[in-house]
Structure formats: C-alpha cells, structure tokens
Structure 1
Amino acid sequence: MSSFTTISSDKLARLIGTANAPLLIDVRTDEDFAADPRLIPGSVKRSHESVPDWGEELAGRSAIVACLRGQKLAQGTAAWLRQLGVQAETLDGGFEGWKDAKLPLIDSKKLPPRDAKGRTVWVTRARPKVDRIACPWLIRRFVDPNAVFLFVAPSEVVAVGERFNAAPFDIENVFWSHRGELCTFDVMVEEFGLKTPPLLRLATLVRGADTARPELAPEAPGLLAASLGLSRMYDDDLEQLDAGMLLYDAFYRWCRDATTETHNWPTGKAKA
C-alpha cells in the first residue's frame, strides 16, 4: 500500500464532479464542524475515532481525507485506511485550505435528513425526462455520492416524502422545484453554492431542454433529444438514471473542458 501522500485543493477540485472522483471523507471534530457546518462538495462526514469499523467497507477504493487543517486527524485516518486496503491521501491544508482557495462549499443545513446509513433520500415523479435525471446527477456528483432516489406516481410524491423521510423535488409547491424561469437544476446549483462556470453553463442547457426554450443554448435541443431517447429505451427509472449519469458526465466535461474544440472535414482540406 502506498505511503503518506497529499493532494492539493486545485487538483481535487478538478476531480470532484467526475465519474472517477475518489471518496471524500471529512473527519473534522464535532466542534470544528459546528463552527463551520459546510462541506467540500461530495464529501461525507465520518468520525476518525471509528475508522477501523467503517473503513473496512472502503477496501479497494481510493479516498481523500480532510480535517480542519490537514494535520493529525486526516493523516491518522488516512494511515488507518491504508492499513485496511484503501488508497488514501490527505487534503493539503484541509478544510481551511480549501476555504482559503475560495472553492465551493455546501451548507450542510440545506441537505435533507440522512437515513440510518448516512444517505440523503429524495423522491420525485416517475418516468423522468430532463430535470429529474439532471438533479440526481448533480446530487450524486457534488452533494451526496450515496444519495437514494425514489421514483413514484406524481400524486404520491409528497406523501411518500413524509412517510419515508425523503426530500421531494421537481414537483409544484416544494422547496426543490422550478422558480420563475429557473428549473429545479438551476435552483439546486444556486442553493448548494455550486455556481461554477461549468455548472452554470450546464444549467443553461438543462433549462433550455426542460422548459422548451431551445434558443437558450445551441446544445439544448441535443440534450432534450438524448433525454427523450433514454426515456424510451428504459422502462425502469433507476436503469434510466444509471444511463443518464453517463450522459450528464459527458455534457459536464464538455462544459468544463471542450467548449472551444471544433472539428473539420475533410481533415486535409486547406483553409480558404
């Protein structure tokens, strides 16, 4: 197993939101967390004291551990994880270093209650198209990688939310829903403090596709076509969500890295 290593905030920021992002584990003390109850996007709060217990379930995976300043708690937890077969690194400078770099932070008070396994649970209408795939993608990639999504009959969303302690989204008259011209994806980007240039660009595409405004972005009709195609390919909403994760991974990476790239044909044709 590898020895002690660290990762910079800038490098970690490039990994967050991608399909191959490592597990992010926040081991700040309860007192430090209470002083600033925000989380690095995608991170899960764990206790350093019980790492021998919860660390076993992470064997074979990679993880980044952060405490307040990247010192004893993060380094000790990462060392324990390496003993358990986890490829664990620590975040250089810890939570404070990330904050000093002015990188996004999620207010944990905005998150719905977690279940007994530490997961957030969400509920929405069955047969998703655009927003109801885009929002789960955003949550799993930037908010809670272990989030659970329940797809139910439209008339039962609120009641299921109440009985199963799940946060309803993308229906009328709930917090996580359309606001004016904004779609639910826009609202989540705003409320979770994720207004980075790539996610704002992606939000424009989602809004255009979800609200029948293709003029908002040239790519919006393509997103709508792909979304409707997926909805015809899959009868199972969870299988559709799994396929949709790859779709939004691709659109996000285009928004982040490839908007200026073009292709010409034929390849050898001289420019006029």
Structure 2
Amino acid sequence: MPSPQEISVEKLARLVGTPNCPVLIDVRTEEDFALDPRLIPGSVRRDHRELGWIDDLAADATILICQKGKKISHGVAAWLRNRNVPADVLEGGVEAWRMSGLPLVPVSTVPRRDAQGRTVWVTRARPKIDRIACPWLIRRFIDPGAVFLFVPAPEVEAVAAEFDAMPFDIEGDVQWSHKGELCTFDVMVEAFGLTSEPLLRLATIVRAADTARLDLAPEAAGLLAASLGLSRMYSDDLEQLEAGLLLYDAFYRWCRDATGETHNWPSAKRQA
C-alpha cells in the first residue's frame, strides 16, 4: 500500500496518456539514469540538486519519480509542497514501473528541447488525420508542452532547419513519416516504445483512416468523418489541433476501456 504521499504504479498507469495526468518529473541521478536512459511516458528530466526549476513550474499536481521511490523523489516532493505545489511520489520508482512491464520511452528518440524545455515540431498546414494524431501522441506521451508549427508544404524542411524544429509527416527522407504501409503515427508508436495494446489498436484505426484502407478497422470510417468535419469547422490549424486532441482522447479511452461495450437502445426489456 502506498503512503498518503505516494501513488501506485497501477494508478499512475491509468493516468498516463490522459489529459488529467499530473506533471511527471524524473529526478533520477545521472548514474541511475545512465543504467536505463528511458522515461516513463510524459515525464521530463530535472536535476534534484539544482531546484531553481521549481520557481518556473506551473502545475496543479506533480508526481516525482526516482529509481526506487525513496529519498530523492520524497525530498524533491517535500520541496515542491514547501512552495505550495501539490506533489506525490511514484511508489517503487522507475524500477517498479519497469518490473510491471509498462512502456518506457528511449530518451534518444526524443528531439532536442528548446531553451524553454519544449520539443518543437513542424509539418504541413491544414491537417486531417496523421497530423492531428501524431501531435496528440506527443502531447500525451512524450512532451505535454510540445510546440507544433503548421506551414505550407514546400516550406516545412526550410522552417525545420531555420527554427531547429523536427519535421514530421512529409514526403522525403525524414525520420518521422510514412514507412511502407505504416503511417507516421505507427512509426512514432513503435519508435517511442509505446506498443501497448490500446495504442496499437488506435494505430490500426489511424492507419486505416489515413491511408484509405477502411477495411482494416470498422472504427476508421468514423475517425475519417470526424477528422474531415473538424477540418471544415476550423480555419486555424492550432484551433483544429486543440479540438482534435479531445477526439483522440475519446478514441484512446475507447481503445483502452470500452471495446467490449455496446449500446443498448432499444433495451431488451422494452423489446420484451
């Protein structure tokens, strides 16, 4: 049983990937991190010896993560609470998360962060499916503060070079784009080590809708229709992205929690 200031691996696993997930802060020592340079999805590295970053932290809730959930995470959590920032500790730390077989993101796959600690991405304007699905995956599982730039297709690579942004979902020899029959969302799920059953199920739906192979998943037609509808509702790509995040939140929760549920109207009782 976790203490009142701890959260269990099982409970955190239910929060990761949802808009209600607290800010996750990895405070492992450099030595411990070097043993396994992977992050719990959505977490960010911070130095427990230099706590100046606390003053810039804007969060309603935080969870501190160290190797075993002992002195380092409890100490930093206490400092956060001292600054009126609610803070809990992951029970058992990264070791307990890893032993539970839950996904960990290789830090080598995450782009370099800017001076504000954010990853910056650039893609083609007027997104439909992949260019909303990928930002959703990044915001929910890689970097909640990620910045997305939408520009005309011919300018993507030049903008990427000029503004040190990571291009995605464009034609050409780039890291984050379609590979064979896989769409960019598929590629990211695999590269980031996020191959849980719900995300693989969602990846199939996204691929089916994005590549016009609606036979791959019966839900794909609904995602395609909703995505095209959003593109007609919003002329501003960033406003469309914010609306699309909610759409993918709903699809993810269906993939994770509701695939066995059916609608019951008209009810069997009324039919009888």
Task: Give the TM-score band, short-chain normalised.
Answer: over 0.9
Offset, 1:185: 0.3
The percentage of counterpart residues that share the same residue type is 68
Q: Which residue number in structure 1 is paired with residue 193 of structure 2?
A: 193
Query: 2:224 corresponds to which letter in structure 1?
Result: L
Return the alpha-carbon distance in structure 2 between the equivalents of residues 9 and 195 of structure 1: 18
8 Å CA contact 1:124, 1:150 repeated in 2: yes
Cα deviations across residues 101-148 of structure 1 (Å, max 9, x unaligned)? 121000000111110111111110000000000000000000111111
Give the secondary structure class of the aligned counterpart of 2:148: strand
Structure 1 residue 4: Cα displacement:
5.5
C-alpha separation between the residues in 2 aligned to 1:228 and 1:91?
Answer: 40
Match of 1:235 in 2: 235
Q: Which residue is equivalent to 2:91?
A: 92
**Is the 8 Å Cα contact of residues 4 and 79 (structure 1) preserved in structure 2?**
no
Within a 5 Å distance, the mapping from 1:206-225 to structure 2 comes to 206-225=206-225
The equivalent residue for 1:119 is: 118
Assess if the C-alpha contact under 8 Å between 1:59 and 1:84 holds in 2.
no
* 1:23 and 2:18 aligned: no
Aligned to 1:257: 257
Instruction: Please tell me the residue identity of whatever aligns with 2:162.
Output: R
The structural deviation recorded for 1:186 is: 0.4
Counterpart residue number, 1:76: 75
Q: Does 1:133 align with 2:132?
A: yes
Q: Which amino acid aligns with 2:239?
A: E
Deviation for aligned residue 1:50 = 2.8
Distance 1:266 1:225 in 2: 25
Unaligned runs of 5+ in 2: none
**Following TM superposition, by how much is the alpha carbon of 1:47 offset from its aligned partner in structure 2, in angstroms?**
1.1
Does the 8 Å contact 1:60/1:85 carry over to 2? no
Gaps of 5+ in 1: none
TM-score relative to the length of structure 2: 0.95
Aligned residues: 268
Question: CA shift at 1:99, angstroms?
Answer: 1.2
Residue 59 (structure 1) shift: 5.2
